[in-house]
A and B are shown apart, each in its own frame.
Chain A
Amino acid sequence: MRSKKPSAVIASVLKYTFLCLGAFFTLLPFLWMISSALKTPAEIIKMPPVMVPEVPQFENFSTAWSAAPFGRYFINTIIITVLTTVCVVITSILSAFAFSKLKLPGKNIVFALFMATLMIPGEMLIITNFITITKLHWIDTYKAMIVPWVSSVFYTYLLAQFFMQVPDSLYLAAKVDKCSDFKFMTRIMVPMNKSAITTIGILNIIGCWNSFLWPLLVTNKQEMRVLSTGLIRFQTEAGTSYELIMAASCILVVPIIIVFLFLRKYVLEGVSFSGVKG
């Protein structure tokens, strides 16, 4: 078979054209960010939009970087994100397992109460939580940004739904084999629901990374702030310096890309795992 059939050629041309278009549109916001980071303030607001800046303004990067201690912000954000995510995954697994498999008196009532807290908007609790944190003298500490978020009703609920789908017969069979609840959870439940747990982890990382109001409330010192609070420094009452925001975003996205390149295998595995399971 030295040459393919014309129909196969057309099919693969179409396929690759489609994939290239898809890749282009996916990358467009990213390219736009880089291009905007190199523009002058005048080019940023130009209509029709300028795709490639006339003279790349590399000093935007140094201006943006020096506007706030981004290095420190970055470390803070990593610490808070990692610790919060680890904790939230552990607490969600434990409570979801309890709600889905263990036989506890009044379990359903407790679960209903748990769910009821989802009805209370977070904004209503912010001041109360803030007063608690103040009374504990936790202002300007990592604790203040981690502890209030180490468990999540929503993730517990989500995970409990996945755990409930695991047949009780598996649990009972393990019991017959003298497997403890904890062992059953770590050896069977968790591996079987890897994709759901990964999803929770990723959702929480995104949420932590973007959280703004709470970290700002519980920190007064610059050195305890997080990345999102750094980006608002380019906004004023009279306008926004988009080129600096974009430059800062470019700098901040680099470590994430590096992390992704290293962990690509695991991330893709997590995604494909869910596909296989479906």
Chain B
Amino acid sequence: MKRFNKTITAVFAAAAMAGVLAGCGSSESAETTTAPATTVAEASETAADTGIQPTEVTFWHSMTGQQETTLQELTDQFNAENEYGITVTILNQGGYDDLRTKLTANAAADTLPDLAQTYPSWLIPFLDKVVPLDDMVANDFDDYEDILENYREENSQFGFISGLPFNKSTYVYFYNKTMFDELGLEAPETWDDLIHIGEVFKAEKDMVSLGADDMAGFLEAAIRQNGGEFVSEEGALFDNEIGQEAFDYIMNMYNNGYARLVGEDGYFSGPLSNQLIPAYIGSSTGVSFITHEDWELGVASLPGHKQDAANTAGTNIVMFSKDANQKKATWEYMKFLTSAEATTKWAIDTGYLPIRTSAYESEEYQTFMENDPTARAAYGQSEAFFSSPAFDGSADVTSEVNATLEEVILNKEDSTEALKAVVEAVNDAL
């Protein structure tokens, strides 16, 4: 809170407090500076010098539970095995929103860590602090083309390589296979299948048969599945025939009671576990929140229409190191985390997806997939992956689309009105 130091009261207060604070300050005698860039001992500025001086690298992340354990294991392995004496410290900075806030604040104070997990849209306010990786990828990286094309595109959208993919997931279709078998239904492959499933569940069990955790993502996928584009910096790109068809389909699902909003549940993993809904579309990482003791869980790729399109989610690792030695050291760690070996272990332990084609095709991962329907479904749609473009205001667009879609669905508006309302919301947000 802002102070007016010149006021007499503040002087009074300061005098009275001095004693109290002295006690507190002395216990903290060793002041530590955690600004990562200042931890560099000596920096070798000569470009010809390929050696790396021993140094510490800081990595800010949002991983918890098993994800954090695996990340720590990988980091320990790197710290033990790298020949340069690089020590990487991983620091959890709360959830994604907290991490984002911390990064924004530290960008303003110029104290960013060497490396952090980020979504592309977070970087827009401080793009100048991001270290472009183009040279390092070109000269010192193991087969860049091996990384899935969609991930490479996502990390090149600012005109340079801004990061490497790390914890990646995709949206899949989770369903109650026991119920589907009972009604003689198969996992859906098209929009028509979804409508058919909706009709059957409505008629036979009087149940709503579909939900989507992320409404804006659901709409974007539908528009892309219909061959269209969602939004750009200019505004909505779906105010056309293609967009109208997508809205016809979505509003048909909701207005006829084949689909419902998530509401108070927050995520559909709860209702699915309780058999209150037989299927939903959500992140592949949500599988750990689905309990299915007395029924069989099925997982399928997202149903398509004119073409397939599947949302991806999850962050990339982005470098903010400042001097040359620090950059080289961070790059060594980034190469390690994105290596086929590390990404395979990461994917198998955490349920995130491998970022390399070679990792998908490795014997180890193929064996894992045989017993993991979520991984199979994710792999099955990997050709259709897309990621939402990041631009100034893209986060506002997402929240506006979510709010407006919810509103038109609750009002049971017809699809023409719904399209108009969402287009307007997108354009107003920009």
> Taking beta carbons and an 8 Å cutoff, which residues of A are in contact with B?
40-42, 45-47, 67, 79, 83, 86-87, 90-91, 94-95, 98-99, 104, 110, 113-114, 117, 120, 122, 125-127, 130-131, 134-135, 137-143, 146-153, 213, 216-217, 220-222, 229, 232-240
Contact of A42 (CB < 8 Å), options: B64, B101, B293: B293
Alpha-carbon distance A123/B297, docked complex (angstroms): 44
B228 to chain A, nearest CB (A): 27
Q: How far is the CA of A98 from the CA of B102 in the complex (A)?
A: 38
B12 is contacted by which of A95, A233, A240 (Cβ under 8 Å)? A95
Among residues of A, the one whose C-beta sits closest to the C-beta of B213 is: A238
Find out whether the CB atom of B286 lies under 8 angstroms from the CB atom of A150: no
Taken residue by residue from 55 to 69, chain B's Cβ proximity to chain A (1 for < 8 Å, 0 otherwise) reads as 000101000110000
Task: Name the contact of A67 in the complex, choosing from B9, B65, B105 (C-beta under 8 A).
Answer: B65
Asked whether, in the complex, the Cβ of A95 is within 8 Å of the Cβ of B1, the reply is: no
Q: Is the CB of A153 within 8 A of B1?
A: yes
| Contact present for B96 and A237 (CB under 8 Å) | yes
By the criterion CB–CB under 8 Å, are B20 and A131 in contact? Answer: no
Q: Does B366 have its Cβ within 8 Å of any Cβ on chain A?
A: no
Which B residues lie at the A interface, using CB under 8 A? 1-4, 7-10, 12-13, 16-17, 20-21, 24-25, 27-28, 31-35, 58, 60, 64-65, 91-96, 98, 101-102, 104-106, 108-109, 111, 266-267, 269-270, 273-274, 276, 282-283, 285-286, 288-289, 291, 293, 313
User: Which B residue's beta carbon lies closest to that of A236?
Assistant: B64
Contact A41 B21 (CB under 8 A): no
Residues from chain A with a CB closer than 8 A to the CB of B276 are: 47
A91 in contact with B13 (CB, 8 Å): yes
Q: How far is the CA of A79 from the CA of B4 in the complex (A)?
A: 26
Contact present for B286 and A117 (CB under 8 Å): no
**For residue A141, which residues in chain B have a CB less than 8 angstroms away from its CB?**
28, 31-32
9 A-B pairs whose Cβ atoms sit less than 8 Å apart in the complex: A87-B17, A94-B16, A120-B2, A131-B108, A140-B34, A142-B28, A150-B17, A151-B3, A213-B98
B34: which A residues are within 8 A, CB to CB? 139-140, 220-221
From A114, A233, A234, contact of B92 by CB (8 A): A233
Cross-chain contact A47 with B95 (CB below 8 angstroms): no
Most chain B beta-carbon contacts within 10 A, residue among A127, A221, A233, A237: A237
- Nearest chain A CB to B400's CB is how many angstroms away? 20
| Nearest CB in chain B to that of A41: its residue | B291
Report A-chain residues with C-beta under 8 Å of the C-beta of B35.
Answer: 134, 139
- Within the complex, the shortest CB–CB distance from A46 to chain B, in Å, comes to 6
Q: A153 vs B288: C-alpha distance in the bound complex, in angstroms?
A: 47
Report if A45-B285 is in contact (Cβ < 8 Å); known contacts: A221-B91, A234-B64.
Answer: no
Partner of B273, one of A45, A90, A104, A216: A45
Instruction: Give CA–CA (A117, B163) in the complex, Å.
Output: 41
Least Cβ–Cβ distance between B207 and chain A, in angstroms: 14
A122 touches B1 (CB 8 A): yes
A41 to B95, CA, bound (A): 21
Residues of chain A lying within 8 A (CB to CB) of residue B106:
130, 134
A147 to B17 Cα, complex, angstroms? 10
Q: Tell me, in angstroms, the Cα distance from A91 to B31 when the chains sit together.
A: 26
* B28 near A238: Cβ-Cβ < 8 Å: no
Inter-subunit contact A126/B102 (CB<8 Å):
no
Q: Which chain B residue lies CB-closest to A150?
A: B17
Distance between A152 CB and nearest chain B CB, rounded to angstroms: 7
B16 touches A217 (CB 8 A): no
B108 touches A239 (CB 8 A): no
How long is the Cα–Cα vector from A139 to B28 in the complex, in angstroms?
12
Q: Are B21 and A147 in touch, CB under 8 angstroms? A: yes
Is the beta-carbon distance between B16 and A216 smaller than 8 angstroms? no
Cα of A221 to Cα of B31 in the assembled complex, Å: 13
Q: Which residues of B contact A221 (CB under 8 A)?
A: 34, 91
Residue of B3, B13, B34, B91 with most chain A CB atoms under a 10 A cut-off: B13
Q: How far is B18's CA from A147's CA once the two chains are assembled, in angstroms?
A: 11
B313 x A237 contact (CB < 8 A): yes
Contact across chains for A95 and B13 when beta carbons are under 8 A apart: yes
Contact of A91 among B16, B32, B91 (CB under 8 A): B16
Contacts of A87 in B (CB 8 A): 17, 20-21
* Nearest residue, chain A, Cβ from B15: A94
A3 to chain B, nearest CB (A): 53
A110-B7, A234-B64, A237-B313 known; A45-B270 Cβ under 8 A: yes
- CB contacts (< 8 Å) of B4 on chain A: these are 110, 113-114, 117
Known: A90-B17, A135-B109. 6 other contacts (CB 8 A): A42-B291, A91-B13, A130-B109, A220-B58, A220-B60, A238-B267
| Smallest Cβ-Cβ distance to A244: which chain B residue | B65
Decide if A238 touches B64 in the complex (CB within 8 Å).
Answer: no
The residues of A that contact B58 with a CB separation of less than 8 Å are 220
What is the bound-complex CA distance between A235 and B285, given in angstroms? 13
Q: How far is the CB of B293 from chain A (nearest CB, A)?
A: 7
- Out of A94, A95, A130, name the residue touching B108 (CB < 8 Å): A130
A81 smallest CB distance to B (angstroms): 13
In the complex, the answer to whether B16 meets A134 with C-beta atoms within 8 Å is: no
Pair A238/B286 contact, Cβ less than 8 Å = yes
Give A66 to B60 CA distance when docked, in angstroms. 21
Q: What A residues does B95 contact at CB under 8 A?
A: 232, 235-237
Partner of B13, one of A83, A140, A151, A233: A151
A238 interface neighbour in B3, B91, B98, B283, Cβ under 8 Å: B283
Kindly provide the distance from the CB of B305 to the nearest chain A CB, expressed in whole angstroms. Answer: 26
User: Hey, which chain B residues are within 8 Å of A41, CB to CB?
Assistant: 289, 291
Could you tell me if A232 and B94 are in contact, using CB atoms closer than 8 angstroms?
yes
